[in-house]
Structure 1
Amino acid sequence: MSSILRHVGQASGDQIRISDLAIFFGDRAFGALLFLFAAPNLIPLPPGSSAVLGAPLILIAGQLALGRRILWLPEFIGRRTIRKADYERALAHGLPYLRRTERLMAPRLTFMFGPLGDRLIGITCLALAVILFLPVPFANIVPALAIASFALALMQRDGVVAIAGWIAAFATLVIVAVISGALWIATKAFFRALAQTLAIGQP
């Protein structure tokens, strides 16, 4: 993946289209684009960025869940562009980490992949992408890590990395459950206090 990413930057003009990235990666486009849209969520981003990145993730993961072998991108996503300067800056920052990760990866536990395994990963990534898309506070990094792990696992057919993705996906469910429970308790307490205040104010 690191070699292809570097080649994309060398072969492109001032702007890099998302559709061009899909063409460059070919049959590995699902994993590559899942990784490219999930990885930025691993660092602090301006408010609303997770929703912008989450929408393409929902589309890509949904197709993987349906068992598509060739990635289809609607025109409004495919024609989106990335400034080459921004792309090269991000590549310079992230490429060393990606290369070190790639050196640790190899085809392992490949029985976890295939028509059924890929669909299960797609369904899970779809659920994680919806969580990323929703404005759930403090719940972006772990699902992004899970999707990025699944993406790398798909490209390298590395079951060990897929297991890491499943662990991160389970952790995401726990975090979302805890946050949702806390918000529900806080909401009930607010309305209970509001009702008591209104009752006291009545003659």
Structure 2
Amino acid sequence: MSGERVCARLGVGADTDAESHQRFSSLLRAAADDHTRDRVTIADLRDTFQDTAFGALIFIFAVPNVLPVSILGVSAITGLPLVLLAYQIMCGGRVPWLPPWILKRSFSRTQFQRLIDRIEPGVIRLERYLRPRLHGLFHPLCERALGAICLVLAIILFLPIPLGNMLPGVALSLAGLALIERDGIALAVSVVTAVASVVVVSGAVYAMALAAFFVAHHALGF
């Protein structure tokens, strides 16, 4: 994946006709179908997306938590990178940094193709509605606020809360796409989803705490 392709997608040094720009789904597919390598590393993905790497990496780490049949413990694997990325956005970072041991993590090309096969139809459907708009919502201060929201979601996702990863995963995936496409409406939807996910997860934790207290009270006589 060359930098020229990414620039073409962003409209830098390329025809401004929207049809000539490669979209996120196209770049994901190209990475999955790249027969020049047997494995795809996180560093490869970061370098592929360049100026949109924050949004792309947030989406890539968040979306496995949204899949109906996620691998058990996937949030423990994806949560830490999401925490690091969100913290950097909150601090005004421009270039995403991840520890070398995360950047070196890799998928076999077959595994990555399977993941893309699962998420590509949904991404393509969403892309029909995504476009650059409401640019004021991407003011540096607004982006820092988004980073703080994503940090809260990433921490929730990272914690071992039963079924506590899906809604934060949805909100983070939407935030990633909003950052990639610079779509203010998608950004607003991601924030609303974030608030809803915090309320739902908080309610679930409160209910579990009450249930634990009830069991302890009646079984142990507390």
TM value normalised by structure 1: 0.91
Secondary structure at the aligned position of 1:106 is classed as: coil
1:195 CA displacement:
4.3
* C-alpha separation in 2, matches of 1:166 and 1:4: 26
Structure 2: tracts of 5 or more residues without a match: 1-23
2:3 paired residue number: none
1:100 CA displacement:
2.0
Secondary structure at the aligned position of 1:104 is classed as: coil
1:72 aligns with 2:97: yes
1:15 paired residue number: 39
Give me the CA root mean square deviation: 1.5
Q: Residue type of the partner of 1:76?
A: W
1:84 aligns with 2:109: yes
* C-alpha separation in 1, matches of 2:186 and 2:83: 21
1:61 CA displacement:
1.0
Name which one, 1 or 2, has greater alpha-carbon Rg: 1
1:36 aligns with 2:36: no
1:165 paired residue number: 190
1:116 aligns with 2:130: no
2:25 paired residue number: 2
TM value normalised by structure 2: 0.84
Secondary structure at the aligned position of 2:221 is classed as: helix
Q: Residue type of the partner of 1:187?
A: A
* C-alpha separation in 1, matches of 2:202 and 2:115: 33
CA contact (8 A) 2:33 2:113 kept: no
CA contact (8 A) 2:63 2:170 kept: yes
Aligned residues: 197
Q: Residue type of the partner of 1:79?
A: K
- Identical columns (%): 38
* C-alpha separation in 2, matches of 1:73 and 1:176: 27
1:196 paired residue number: 221
Residue from 24, 28, 45 that aligns with 2:48: 24
Task: Give runs of ≥4 in structure 1 deviating > 4 Å.
Answer: none
1:200 paired residue number: none
Structure 1: tracts of 5 or more residues without a match: 198-203
Higher fraction of helix: 1
* C-alpha separation in 1, matches of 2:209 and 2:111: 41
